[in-house]
Structure 1
Amino acid sequence: MKLAINGFGRIGRTILRQILALPADSNIEVALINDIAPLETCAYLFQYDSTFGPYVGTVDVDETGLIVDERSIPMTQSSDLAQVDLTGVDVLLDCTGIARSSDVARRGLQAGAAKVLISGPSPAAEVTIVVGANEDSLGDARIVSNASCTTNALAPLLKQVDQIAGVHSAHMTTIHCYTNSQPMVDAPRGDLARSRAGALSMVPTTSSATHLIDVVLPHLAGRISGAAVRVPTASVSAIDLVATLEQEMGLEDFQAELHRAADTSPVLGWATMPLVSTDLRARPESLVIAGTETRLAGQNQVRVFGWYDNEWGFSARMLDVARLMSRV
């Protein structure tokens, strides 16, 4: 599978780290990276990462692009992707965060890529896919959204809970680390609360996952609400889900069924130790359920808590969906 990465920010760099860690026979080639930042800056930020630590191999540059562990990866610095030659690329991973309109999303196709996978919600996508929830809906779509990190954490969990006991209604709170959408010091933003310094306060705000669940799991549309609290940590977020079940279940039975579902899921994990957020850094699962945190009120209201590395896990799902797209 031949991939290209457009946008070498947090997700683009994390995806490259994961690709480079794959076995030699993984059959994934990074044909090109495009980013408007200077080549030397891209190399520096890839080599020295404040969240995941320094890259363990060698990173260098030449006139054509990056050289990582003696592996040459061409780089371009074009603000118009349509001007870049992507002939032969199976999937373009658009990690710019700006592919929200059809004309922008299609530039990868115009440049020669067979398909485009967008690293976030996008109304320009033909379909939104979350592995573990609705990957069977992929079809032959050429422009696909990988949803959001929180949707990737929530949707597989909701699907399993619904299969175990039926979800009548639910509310999700994501306790989310700060991101680049928040300022380091107080500065104007569209959302007044998000105008405050992200590393100094807990900030109540919204989550795109609330809308995306309706798209990914349409049979639950209108039954799931959600909100976010941005917290002053640099990585790893959490899901706190309270659901009213359609079937009455005892706590032990529910825990056993959920544990069994996590063990057989390709994207869910299970933890029994009393972990804290830093313990989950660089975990590839979409969500690691904290089994001992499960609670039951009465016979049909359940609380489930889980952790997710909103960058590493999401990037792992980008690669999973790209593999699915390249096989269609």
Structure 2
Amino acid sequence: MIHNQTFETEIKSYQHKQSAAVKLIQIVNSLWFGSSIELIFFRKQLFDRPVNTVLHLHQQSHELADPAVSIFETLRVAQAMHHLQLSPSRIDIGTLALEVRNQNIEDDQLLYFIKKELMSAQDHKNFEPRDVVLYGFGRIGRLLARELISKSGAGKQLRLRAIVTRDTVDEKTLYKRATLLRNDSIHGDFKGEVDYDLEHQALIINGTTVKIISTENPEDIDYTEYGIHNALIIDNTGAFRDERELSRHLTANGASQVLLTAPAKGIPNIVYGVNNDMIDLEYTSIFSAASCTTNAISPILEIIDKKFSINQGHIETIHSYTNDQNLVDNMHSKSRRGRAAGLNMVITETGAGSAVAKVLPALAGKLTSNAIRVPVSNGSLAILNLQLNTATSVEEVNTILKESALKGHLIEQIHYSNNDELVSSDIIGTTAAAVVDAPATIVSADGKSINIYVWYDNEYGYTHQVMRLARHIAGVRRYVYY
């Protein structure tokens, strides 16, 4: 009888949590669609998440808070926020709820406290949305399309208007493009509506018409014919890699800025959160989002160098295979990459060591790097072997990285994990550029040689870094609270 009573109590307790999660989801959706206010939970997306996922995210917060932030703490804060008139924002409600807990804010003071914390978000400026064109529609292009559409909110930020490919725009091609956008073997089905319109040569994504433009040369397009003006062109083809080639985009009528989703020569290579402040938006129109690996390791290297001063180091990347490799053994222009990607570990080169110097000039000449492509479809690992000028310990290194994941200018870029069961598939879908594997950190006996293991979703995490940089250079302003 006692066992049955305990069981019934547990069921009712969980139902109570589910009810709170439903209410939270309603507020999340209302703020997003009504005001372009995005609520997240310790950098994890809440929008378009089912009840059980929301509860699971709260359970996982024990890695950053002790005890974990409960659904009731979060709901309490969200309900108070809902009374405020806020401008387009991205607000970490997990961080806010934890601050409410730490300061022991009572109910009668809650609204005042939140209003004070979010004062800057109550500056109601009207921001002009920016048109975006995706030049290329491969792995990164399709993930960008998903994010641009799902994050369009009330239409006050970036708006996907067109996709440029080299295909003939016929029914067969449109159907295949729609299918590849809808279905993804790694990231799952797109949680929305995707169709095509042959008459208007477009994809219809969540009710939004996105033109499909076919061309061999970027300068041949007149975007204004499609009603597109002052567009940010996101080039994810990798075909153009220097200023001269990328400038061809700017000769197209209706285009005003270019963002390359690959490393480039002669133009700013930017890792958002690390060196985006160096951009002169008034005089620069072409930018590079660097590589997925550079985005993963640069935030960690910046923190370690600032605290301990890096004397020298080596970066070894364990990277998932990519479309550049062969499915079966065949000719390839680069050494070893001709061997079957799904069957072999393949040593290959990476420019990550030298690329970091473009982002963090203080590390120029101090880092070497290499890469091993391995038979996994997504999810990569960078091992940072660093020689320091200042001695440290495992505890100090992990504490500094954990603090950087909770506060400061790199919290979007760094996720801290103390999960000693973490594996590569767990990284898929992570929006952070880097996931610190704290249990794997190694420090030598003298404290001056360290190994830090940094996981990253080389597709999804990188895509979010591109999105952050795109908003920045496009001048789409929104308040951010972390």
8 Å CA contact retained: 2:297, 2:454: no
Tell me which of 255, 266, 271 is aligned to 1:113: 255
Provide the rounded CA distance (Å) in 1 between the counterparts of 2:208 and 2:158. Answer: 13
8 Å CA contact retained: 1:131, 1:156: no
Provide the rounded CA distance (Å) in 2 between the counterparts of 1:89 and 1:59. Answer: 26
Q: 1:174 to 1:147 in 2, by over 3 A?
A: same
8 Å CA contact retained: 1:164, 1:258: no
Offset at 1:41? 2.0
Superposition map of 1:12-27 within 5 A? 12-22=141-151, 24-25=153-154, 26-27=156-157
Tell me which of 462, 466, 469 is aligned to 1:314: 462
* 144-153 vs 252-261, which moves further: 252-261
Provide the rounded CA distance (Å) in 2 between the counterparts of 1:101 and 1:159. Answer: 26
Superposition map of 1:277-316 within 5 A? 277-298=424-445, 299-316=447-464
RMSD: 1.5
Offset at 1:2? 1.6
Tell me which of 36, 51, 61 is aligned to 2:166: 36
Provide the rounded CA distance (Å) in 2 between the counterparts of 1:67 and 1:215. Answer: 39
Q: Deviations over 1:212-250 (max 9, x none)?
A: 112111111000111100000001111111111111112
Provide the rounded CA distance (Å) in 2 between the counterparts of 1:50 and 1:221. Answer: 39
Structure 1 SS opposite 2:450: strand
Match for 1:223: what amino acid? K
Superposition map of 1:4-15 within 5 A? 4-15=133-144
Provide the rounded CA distance (Å) in 1 between the counterparts of 2:427 and 2:258. Answer: 29
Larger CA Rg, structure 1 vs 2:
2
Provide the rounded CA distance (Å) in 1 between the counterparts of 2:175 and 2:222. Answer: 22
Provide the rounded CA distance (Å) in 2 between the counterparts of 1:22 and 1:290. Answer: 29
Q: Deviations over 1:45-88 (max 9, x none)?
A: 11111111222222111132100122211111111121222341
**Length-normalised TM-score, structure 2:** 0.66
Match for 1:243: what amino acid? L
Provide the rounded CA distance (Å) in 1 between the counterparts of 2:185 and 2:231. Answer: 31
Offset at 1:194? 0.8
Match for 2:181: what amino acid? F
User: Could you tell me which residue of structure 1 aligns to residue 346 of structure 2?
Assistant: 203
User: Could you tell me which residue of structure 2 aligns to residue 128 of structure 1?
Assistant: 269
Aligned pair 1:74/2:204, yes or no? no
Structure 1 SS opposite 2:429: coil
Aligned pair 1:267/2:413, yes or no? yes
User: Could you tell me which residue of structure 1 aligns to residue 184 of structure 2?
Assistant: 49
Tell me which of 194, 197, 204 is aligned to 1:59: 194
Greater strand content: 1
Offset at 1:327? 2.0
Q: Deviations over 1:190-213 (max 9, x none)?
A: 222111111100001111212211
% identical equivalent positions: 31
8 Å CA contact retained: 2:272, 2:469: yes
Provide the rounded CA distance (Å) in 1 between the counterparts of 2:397 and 2:153. Answer: 41
Structure 1 SS opposite 2:337: helix
Provide the rounded CA distance (Å) in 2 between the counterparts of 1:102 and 1:171. Answer: 30
Tell me which of 280, 290, 303 is aligned to 1:139: 280
Structure 2 SS opposite 1:30: strand
8 Å CA contact retained: 2:269, 2:290: yes
Provide the rounded CA distance (Å) in 1 between the counterparts of 2:244 and 2:309. Answer: 40
Provide the rounded CA distance (Å) in 2 between the counterparts of 1:23 and 1:3. Answer: 11
User: Could you tell me which residue of structure 2 aligns to residue 325 of structure 1?
Assistant: 473
Offset at 1:172? 0.7
Match for 1:92: what amino acid? I
Offset at 1:142? 0.7
Offset at 1:23? 5.5
Offset at 1:131? 1.4
Offset at 1:101? 4.0
Match for 1:100: what amino acid? R
User: Could you tell me which residue of structure 1 aligns to residue 376 of structure 2?
Assistant: 233
8 Å CA contact retained: 1:173, 1:228: yes
Provide the rounded CA distance (Å) in 2 between the counterparts of 1:129 and 1:226. Answer: 19
Match for 2:210: what amino acid? I
8 Å CA contact retained: 2:133, 2:160: yes
Structure 2 unaligned regions, length at least 5: 1-129, 168-172, 477-482
Structure 1 SS opposite 2:264: coil
Tell me which of 150, 163, 166 is aligned to 2:306: 163
Provide the rounded CA distance (Å) in 1 between the counterparts of 2:444 and 2:455. Answer: 22
Provide the rounded CA distance (Å) in 2 between the counterparts of 1:174 and 1:51. Answer: 20
Aligned pair 1:96/2:237, yes or no? yes
Q: 1:89 to 1:40 in 2, by over 3 A?
A: farther
Offset at 1:288? 0.6
Q: What is the number of residues matched between the two proteins?
A: 327
* 94-103 vs 285-294, which moves further: 94-103
Greater helix content: 2
Structure 1 unaligned regions, length at least 5: none
Match for 1:30: what amino acid? L
